[in-house]
Amino acid sequence: MKKPFFSIVIITYNRCNFLKANLKILLHQSFKDYEIVISDNASTDNTAKIVNSFKDKNIRFMRNKVNIGFPSNIKKAMLAAKGQYIFTLGDDDFILSEDTLLRIKYILDKKQYGIVRLNILERNYYGPGLQKKLIHLNRDKKIKAHSNTGQILDFYKEVDIGMMSGIIFKNENIIPDKFIDCETYPWFKVVIDNTRRYGAYFLSDTYMVITWTKVTNHQPSWVVKNDRLEFETYDRELFKLIPNKKRTLYRFNYYKNYINLFPVIKLYSTNNNLIQFVKRLLKLEPKLKAEVKLWINLMSTLLIPKVVWVKVRLIYHSINNKIDGIPELNSQTKKYNYLMNRYYKFLQS
């Protein structure tokens, strides 16, 4: 049986209305050589009923009997994919234009990149309209095969390769051992391998629309569990890529960056969790104890109530979230408004 060109991989948990809207939009893509692989992580809502109601031969639905966690679920879905390329898509996100798959296919027919990254627009969760363009590159960008580690990591940072939706990568030699058991970036070794072998391409004017997350106490990236930070398994794989002579300094600066994120960590967890986070951070990088900024940021973050940080976050977004640098902005906004009004009416209730 002929493999589909794309396997669109969606993992889901208790977002049946978002998933329904996502699928309705997805099935209008002009390019039809794809399968949709959905892995439901033991949802307790109407996810199974809604997916089965589509009765579309391109949809493959798998349901876990128990919740196996995000890393295991994305691993399961990707390993089940049969397409030549895997397209990752969040259940509450959507593809903006009907010709998106066709455009990607055109690029990959000319050159078989290991990775294609789409641009991202954020939907404003607390109000109407688009919030901002997430990736601040106004032109397409590519990286050649066999580029060095520094070039690859710089490219990843520019195009936010850690954001799941809108990453397309070659489905080749993907085995269980290539996945990392972490919430942050379980597919990291897969994309690194693809980029090294085939290069990568950023498509600047083709967009995903993603949802801006509500503030909750359940953001796994910042939670300390069993005296470990969630992303330590990812960190270990990342540090292996850095040349020995540069690794010590790279590691120090990498962990130092978290000092600026203390308010974010508190916002998505608790004071106690923040304290445990800092304790673990200092065990991972003891030299940070000498950083005065760490102690100032920690004390101020602990003392200021979370409700203030929520307001600071909203003010920050109101100042910094601007929709600019988008070709044909009116046309893109019109598409967005049409899709929201047609498929996301449940958000208005």
Q: Tell whether 208 is covered by a domain.
A: yes
Q: Which amino acid is at 220?
A: P
| Claim to verify: residue 122 and residue 19 sit in the same structural domain | yes
Q: Tell whether 68 is covered by a domain.
A: yes
Give CA–CA dist 170/258, Å, rounded.
Answer: 32
- Specify the pLDDT at position 152: 96
| Claim to verify: residue 29 and residue 80 sit in the same structural domain | yes
C-alpha triplet 173, 175, 178: angle, nearest 5°? 100
| Claim to verify: residue 117 and residue 242 sit in the same structural domain | no
Average pLDDT of the chain, as a whole number:
92
The parent domain of residue 33 ranges over 6-213+326-348
Output the tens digit of pLDDT for each of the chain's 349 residues: 689 999 999 999 999 999 999 999 999 999 999 999 999 999 999 999 999 999 899 999 999 999 999 999 999 999 999 999 999 999 999 999 999 999 999 999 999 999 999 999 988 766 678 888 889 898 999 999 999 999 999 999 999 998 899 999 999 999 999 999 988 889 999 999 999 999 999 999 999 999 865 545 556 678 888 889 989 999 999 999 999 999 999 999 999 999 999 999 998 889 999 999 999 999 999 999 999 999 999 999 999 999 998 888 888 877 777 777 787 888 899 999 999 999 999 887 6
Interval 277-314: pLDDT, tens:
999 999 999 999 999 999 999 999 999 999 998 888 88
Q: Tell whether 188 is covered by a domain.
A: yes
Q: How many domains does the chain have?
A: 2
| Claim to verify: residue 34 and residue 161 sit in the same structural domain | yes
Q: Which amino acid is at 71?
A: P
Q: Tell whether 310 is covered by a domain.
A: no
Find, among 33, 13, 37, the residue nearest to 23 by Cα: 37
Give CA separation, 17 vs 88, 166, 348, in Å. Answer: 19, 20, 12
**Residue 208, Cβ density class (10 Å: 0-12 exposed, 13-18 middle, ≥19 buried):** buried
- Specify the pLDDT at position 215: 47
Give CA separation, 115 vs 125, 232, 240, in Å. Answer: 29, 25, 21
| Claim to verify: residue 159 and residue 253 sit in the same structural domain | no
Model pTM score = 0.92
Q: Tell whether 76 is covered by a domain.
A: yes
- Specify the pLDDT at position 125: 66
Provide DSSP, 206-258. Answer: EEEEEEPPPP-S--GGG-EETTEETTHHHHHHHHHHS-HHHHHHHHHHHHHGG
In the chain, % helix, strand, coil (3-state, to 5) comes to: 50, 15, 35
| Claim to verify: residue 43 and residue 190 sit in the same structural domain | yes
For position 121, which CATH number holds? 3.90.550.10
Give CA–CA dist 38/48, Å, rounded.
Answer: 10
- Specify the pLDDT at position 112: 95
| Claim to verify: residue 209 and residue 228 sit in the same structural domain | no
Q: Tell whether 319 is covered by a domain.
A: no
Q: Tell whether 285 is covered by a domain.
A: yes
| Claim to verify: residue 201 and residue 57 sit in the same structural domain | yes
Q: Tell whether 311 is covered by a domain.
A: no
| Claim to verify: residue 139 and residue 236 sit in the same structural domain | no
| Claim to verify: residue 165 and residue 37 sit in the same structural domain | yes
| Claim to verify: residue 207 and residue 234 sit in the same structural domain | no
| Claim to verify: residue 149 and residue 283 sit in the same structural domain | no
